[in-house]
Amino acid sequence: MYKPRSRRFTQPIVTALLAMIGVLFCGCNEIQMKAAVKNYRGQGEIRYKKGPLLGIDGCVIQMPQVDLSVPLAVEYDLTGIPPGRGDYTVYLDVQNPCPMPLVLEGSCSFQVKKDGVVVAEQSSKISQMRNAEDKDLNRFYFFDHGTVDFHVSDTTSKCSLVVSCTNDLLKVPVKAFIEISEGGYK
């Protein structure tokens, strides 16, 4: 006569199997993201960003340093940006110390282009942007639509980011840079 096994015996096995599937999923995500980071051909310095266990791995692209006391109008080539989930956050990172009341009087805008077509754009005074302070940085991002979908399904699409920043009140150099970040959530 067949006697069913107790739940005490099968529950740990099911839990272990689910944990192994989760670890394999994370490993595949990590391998895919690291390969996509290596295939990046655009401007700036890109690095892989590890997510937590069962989290979302991602990447960070940091553009060269700029001075906010000089009007900024630049188009960054993002060819080969990793597709990931597509939700990137564009930050204006301002280094401390800085004359924060004057920095807040500036304005910033950006456009995301895919194959020459504008797919997203934002514009705001810096004072109306959200500040996610991080150590020695003020990390400003747009509050209304914090993330941007680059509409990238592969690494062959030609993507670019057009950034403009102006501030007539700043008379001293203020170091800043543009950062584009996706995943790596903890």
Q: What is the pLDDT of residue 126?
A: 94
Enter the DSSP assignment of 93. E
What's this model's pTM, rounded to 2 decimal places? 0.78
Q: What is the pLDDT of residue 33?
A: 78
Q: How many CB atoms lie within 10 A of CB 68?
A: 24
Catalogue all structural domains in the chain, each as residue range(s) with its CATH number: 7-182 (2.60.120)
Task: Judge residue 155's burial from the number of C-beta atoms within 10 Å of its C-beta, 0-12 exposed, 13-18 middle, 19 or more buried.
Answer: middle
Mean predicted confidence (pLDDT) in 89-106: 94
In sequence order, the 6+-apart residues with CB closer than 8 A to the CB of 2 are none
Dihedral sign for Cα 88, 178, 101, 69, please: negative
**pLDDT, tens digit (0-9, with 9 covering 90-100), for 166-175:** 999 999 999 9
